[in-house]
A and B are shown apart, each in its own frame.
Chain A
Amino acid sequence: MESLENENVEILIRRYLDGMASVEETKRLGKWVESSEENKANYQQIKNLLDITDTRNSKMKIDVDNAFDQVLNRIEEKPQGRKWIKTMQKIAAILLIPTVIAGYFFGRTTERRMDAGKVAYNEIYASLGTRSKVLLADGSRVWLNSGSKLRYPDKFTEKNRVVTLTGEAYFEVQSDVSRPFIVQTQHLNVRATGTSFNVQAVESDPEVNVSLLSGKVSVNKSDEPDKNLAKLVNLIPNQRFTYDTKTGKSETFSGDLYEFIAWKDGRLVFRNKPMSEVVKKISQHYNVEIELRGKELQDYRYRATFEEESLNEILKLLKMSSPIKYSEVNRVRLADGTFSKRKIIISPL
């Protein structure tokens, strides 16, 4: 190591990097480093190692999320007026990532079995946090929401097309007037010919919803044998029918229904929705438990569109635009060796 042969150059480097070197020592080190490319390379390698193993450095706490927020704020132009909505919409429009596609692969657990007849039935289940898409034998398409199950035959009969749904699905039914398409759920049957509609019949939820986007459907009680008594409603496009299976009460809403079917496009759309509902949707979408604390938050109205942002990004956006803070509960290892479900706590600021 040239002129510093007798002296341990590494000690000198350490003194210099620790800020302990005298002016003389610094000059000596400088001269040694510039005297050859080899010395320079050696110096830089040692410096590299010492720099990153310096505990003042390596133990530094760095909040990446917070830093990213700050950088985002600086690169976003600041729009006029209702700033956060615009910001949100912009971010939502930009952040597109096809995680749903992964869901199509991982979410499917198809099971085939032979029934009494000759028709083979398939059952498809969209795992929690994923959505699945199914193409039926007649060309009808079905989007299955997280945690939902669809049972359908390999081939439909000549008389009708019957599928069974537990959970939520959006249907785009091929037009075939001679063979009605029937979605059976625990409490309601939805009968259609060629239409687009969404059925939400989640077992744990007493409310069943049918939203019609185009065409015509009739909704019937599934456990009422008398045809006339079973009939509940005929829907026209942009109507949403809500039926409370506990009380038997029902209502029909007319208006823009996109927010109810946006999930099929991987979007979460909230139009002036209370935080309690926002949180419910997010937890279904991402298969995560969310606890909402504080009464005032339950009714806090929220308006936003999310498009395949990660859960962390959504939480961050929520925090930016409403008076909340959130924390994540540490996951614990359960007796069977798996980990508890991810849990987030949202509370008022």
Chain B
Amino acid sequence: MSVIDEKHLLESLQQSDKKSFSIVFSKYYKDLVHFAFTFTKNSETAEEIVQDVFVKFWENRHFIHISVSLKSYLLKSTQNKCLDWLKHQKIREHYKEIAPYITLLSENNTDQYILLSELQANLDKALNSLPDEVAEAFRLSRFADLKYNEIAEKQNVSVRTVEVRISKALQLLREALKDNLWFFLFML
């Protein structure tokens, strides 16, 4: 969806066109649930929150002004709701001590956030640019759900080396995806 398409979409949505609403919904719902899940760690709550976001989005459609992009607007709305939700969670015993940091560590830069679907569209390309053993360690850890000692055994290296490889993968991926970010922003 280009920037222009998105503008048209928003305009007709503001004129109460439910078709446009359904297009926006199908485009962003999944990614937003994945995003909300990073706060809630519970899929039902994540879905509830994102559905609330869309209901509000529809109800307030006439007053919505989008400055960056629709994506970043929806991410921001979702994040605000998630942070509220976090604050209302039962405070665990040790929570008080780290409470000042929870919001800080939970917040995302919604203007530059990479969505799961965007990552998936580019991940193979990005991973291909990494050294094989680094990409493999990353895949095993993030997609095959293996523990570091299991990866170490599989790759026949020390746990420490696995940790280094995964750090390396993250660093290289961030660089690779940073280049792509501009591409993303144009596409959205």
Instruction: Report how far A51 CA is from B107 CA in the complex, Å.
Output: 12
A residues 51-80 near B (Cβ < 8 Å) are 51-58, 60, 62, 64, 67-68, 70-72, 74-75
Residues of B within 8 A of A30 (CB): 98, 100-101, 104-105
Instruction: Pick the contact of B109: A31, A41, A64, A71 (CB < 8 A).
Output: A41
Contact A10–B167 (Cβ < 8 Å): yes
Q: Are B101 and A29 in contact (CB under 8 A)?
A: yes
Q: Is the interface of B mostly helix, strand, loop or mixed?
A: helix
- Known A-B contacts A29-B105, A71-B55, A95-B18; the reply to A64 vs B30 at CB < 8 A is yes
B34 near A50 with CB under 8 A, answer no
Number of residue pairs spanning A and B whose beta carbons lie under 8 angstroms apart: 132
What's the Cα separation between A58 and B35 when bound, in Å? 10
CA distance in complex: A313, B33 (Å): 22
A27 and B101 alpha carbons, distance in the complex (Å): 7
- Give chain B residues whose Cβ lies under 8 Å from the Cβ of A46: 170, 174
Nearest Cβ distance between residue B95 and chain A, in whole angstroms? 9
With a cutoff of 8 Å between Cβ atoms, the chain B residues found around residue A110 in the complex are none
Whether A26 is near chain B, meaning CB under 8 Å from some CB there, is yes
Does chain B have a CB within 8 A of A44? yes
Kindly report which residue of chain B lies nearest to residue A76, judged by CB atoms. B18
Nearest-neighbour CB distance to chain A for B184, whole angstroms, equals 12
- Please report A residues at the B interface, Cβ cutoff 8 Å: 8, 10-11, 14, 16, 19, 23, 26-27, 29-31, 33-34, 41, 43-58, 60, 62, 64, 67-68, 70-72, 74-75, 91, 94-97, 313
Pair B167/A74 contact, Cβ less than 8 Å: no
Which of A31, A49, A94, A95 interacts with B114 by CB under 8 Å?
Answer: A49
Interface of chain A, main secondary structure = helix
Contact of A23 among B30, B94, B107, B119 (CB under 8 A): B94
CB-based contact B19/A94 at 8 Å: yes
Q: A26-B98, A68-B26, A91-B18 are in contact. Are A50 and B104 (CB under 8 A)?
A: no
Q: A30-B100, A54-B142, A67-B47 are in contact. Are A95 and B108 (CB under 8 A)?
A: no
What is the size, in residues, of chain B's interface with A at 8 Å between Cβ atoms?
A: 52
Residue pair B145, A55 in contact (C-beta under 8 Å): yes
Given the complex, which residues of A lie within 8 Å of B37, measured CB to CB?
56-57, 60
Contacts of B109 in A (CB 8 A): 41, 44, 48
Beta-carbon nearest neighbor of A61 in chain B? B43
B51 interface residue, CB < 8 Å from A?
yes
Are B97 and A8 in contact, with the CB atoms below 8 A? no
Residue from B38, B43, B94, B113 with most neighbouring chain A CB atoms (10 Å): B38
Partner of B98, one of A11, A27, A50, A57: A27
B47: chain A residues at CB < 8 Å are 62, 67
- Complex interface: chain A residues within 8 A of B59 (CB): 75
Q: A30-B101, A30-B104, A52-B115 are in contact. Are A60 and B33 (CB under 8 A)?
A: yes
Residues of A within 8 A of B17 (CB): 94-96
Closest to B26 in A: A64
Chain A residues with Cβ under 8 A from B6's Cβ?
Answer: none
Contact A74 B55 (CB under 8 A): yes
